[in-house]
Amino acid sequence: MSRPTPLMAFVVALMIGGQVTLTAADDVSFDLDVMPILSKAGCNGGGCHGALAGKGGFRLSLFGYDPVSDHLAITRDARGRRIDLADPGTSLLLTKPTMAVAHKGGKRLEVDGHDYRLLAAWIAAGCPGPNAAEKKLVSIALTPAEAALGPGSSQQFTVIAAYSDGSTRDVTRWTRFTSADETVATVDPTGLATVVGHGEGAVTAWFSSQIALARVVVPFPHDVPPAVYAAAPRANLIDDLVLQQLQKLHLKPSPPCDDASFIRRAYLDTIGRLPTPEEVRDYLDDKSPAKRERLVDLLLARPEFVDYWTYKWSDILLVNGSKLRPAAVNAYYQWIRDRVAENTPWDRLVRDVVTSRGSSLENGATNFFAVHQDPETMAENVSQAFMSLSINCAKCHNHPLEKWTNDQYYAFANLFSRVRAKGWGGDSRSGNGQRTLFVESRGDLLQPRTGRPQPPAPLDGTPLPLDHVGDRREPLARWLTAPENPYFTRSIVNRVWANFFAIGLVESVDDLRTTNPASNEKLLAALCGYTIEHGYNLKALMRLILLSETYRRSSDPLPENHDDRKWFARAYPRRLMAEVLSDAISDVTGVRDHYTEVVMNDGSTEKVTGYDDDTRAIQLHDSAVKNYFLKTFGRNARDITCECERSNQPSLVQVLHLSNGSTINDKLSAKEGRLTQLLASDPKPPALVEAAWLRCLSRLPTDAERKPFEEMLAAATPEEKQPIVEDMYWSLLTSREFLFRH
Query: For the segment 261-293, what is each residue's pLDDT rounded down to a tens digit?
Result: 999 999 999 999 999 999 999 999 999 999 999
DSSP per position, 635-692:
----SSS-GGGS-----HHHHHHHHHSHHHHHHHH-TTSHHHHHHHT---HHHHHHHH
Same domain, 464 and 349: yes
pLDDT reported for residue 721: 92
- Asked, for residue 31, whether it belongs to a domain, the answer is yes
**Which of 472, 496, 525 finishes a domain?**
472
pLDDT reported for residue 9: 40
pLDDT tier, 471 (very low <50, low <70, confident <90, very high otherwise) = very high
pLDDT reported for residue 608: 75
pLDDT digits (tens, 9 = 90+) for 39-67: 888 898 878 898 878 888 898 887 887 88
Burial of 295 (0-12, 13-18, 19+ CB in 10 A): buried
User: How big, in percent rounded to 5, are the helix, strand and coil portions of the chain?
Assistant: 45, 10, 45
Dihedrals φ, ψ of 313, to 5°?
A: -70, -25
176 pLDDT above the threshold of 60: yes
- Asked, for residue 398, whether it belongs to a domain, the answer is yes
pLDDT reported for residue 515: 86
- Asked, for residue 21, whether it belongs to a domain, the answer is yes
189 pLDDT above the threshold of 90: yes
pLDDT tier, 396 (very low <50, low <70, confident <90, very high otherwise) = confident
Other residues' Cβ atoms within 10 Å of the Cβ of residue 162? 15
Percent with pLDDT over 90 in the chain: 71
Same domain, 214 and 264: no
**Least confidently predicted of 9-18, 468-477, 657-666:** 9-18
499/542 Cα distance (integer angstroms): 10
400 pLDDT above the threshold of 70: no
Name residues whose C-beta falls within 8 Å of residue 394's C-beta, 6 or more positions apart in sequence: 402, 404, 405, 406, 408, 409
How many structural domains comprise the chain?
5
**Least confidently predicted of 227-231, 558-562, 638-642, 719-723:** 638-642
Q: Stretch 651-657: mean pLDDT, rounded? A: 91
Same domain, 147 and 107: no
Beta bridge partners of 218: 199
pLDDT reported for residue 148: 95
**Which of 102, 124, 146 finishes a domain?**
124
DSSP per position, 165-193:
TS-EEE-GGG-EEEES-TTTEEE-TTSEE
Same domain, 193 and 77: no
pLDDT reported for residue 12: 43
563 pLDDT above the threshold of 80: yes
DSSP per position, 194-213:
EE-SSEEEEEEEEETTEEEE
- Asked, for residue 189, whether it belongs to a domain, the answer is yes
168/163 Cα distance (integer angstroms): 6
In this structure, what CATH number is given to the domain that contains residue 193? 2.60.40.1080
Helix (H, G, I), strand (E, B) or coil at 101: coil
Triad 82, 88, 90: Cα angle to 5°: 65
**Which of 413, 438, 472 finishes a domain?**
472
pLDDT reported for residue 107: 92
Instruction: Give the β-pairing of 605-607 and 597-599.
Output: antiparallel
Cα dihedral value 450, 453, 458, 460, nearest 10: -30
pLDDT tier, 431 (very low <50, low <70, confident <90, very high otherwise) = low
Same domain, 441 and 378: yes
Same domain, 417 and 509: no
pLDDT reported for residue 428: 45
668/726 Cα distance (integer angstroms): 6
Specify the DSSP element, H or E, that contains 383. Answer: helix 375-387
- Asked, for residue 569, whether it belongs to a domain, the answer is no
- Asked, for residue 60, whether it belongs to a domain, the answer is yes
Q: Stretch 580-589: mean pLDDT, rounded? A: 96
Same domain, 118 and 142: no
- Asked, for residue 338, whether it belongs to a domain, the answer is no
pLDDT reported for residue 18: 38
pLDDT reported for residue 360: 93
Dihedrals φ, ψ of 494, to 5°?
A: -65, -40
Contact 279, 291 (CB under 8 A): no
Same domain, 357 and 465: yes
Q: Stretch 169-174: mean pLDDT, rounded? A: 95
pLDDT reported for residue 5: 40
**Averaged pLDDT score across all residues of the chain:** 90
Q: 291 is in which domain, residue-wise?
A: 237-301+486-546
- pLDDT: is 599 or 554 the higher one? 554
- pLDDT: is 430 or 227 the higher one? 227
Task: Rank 65-69, 428-432, 583-587 by mean pLDDT and report only the highest.
Answer: 583-587
Sequence letter at residue 116: Y
Same domain, 401 and 456: yes
Name residues whose C-beta falls within 8 Å of residue 488's C-beta, 6 or more positions apart in sequence: 347, 350, 386, 387, 480, 481, 482
Name residues whose C-beta falls within 8 Å of residue 303's C-beta, 6 or more positions apart in sequence: none
- Asked, for residue 683, whether it belongs to a domain, the answer is yes
11 pLDDT above the threshold of 60: no
Same domain, 356 and 406: yes
Contact 264, 555 (CB under 8 A): no
Same domain, 352 and 395: yes
**Backbone CA torsion sign across 169, 175, 179, 185:** positive
pLDDT reported for residue 16: 41
pLDDT reported for residue 397: 65
Contact 98, 87 (CB under 8 A): no
Triad 195, 197, 201: Cα angle to 5°: 75
Same domain, 388 and 446: yes
Instruction: Give the β-pairing of 146-148 and 210-218.
Output: parallel
24 pLDDT above the threshold of 80: no
pLDDT digits (tens, 9 = 90+) for 336-347: 999 999 999 999
pLDDT tier, 17 (very low <50, low <70, confident <90, very high otherwise) = very low
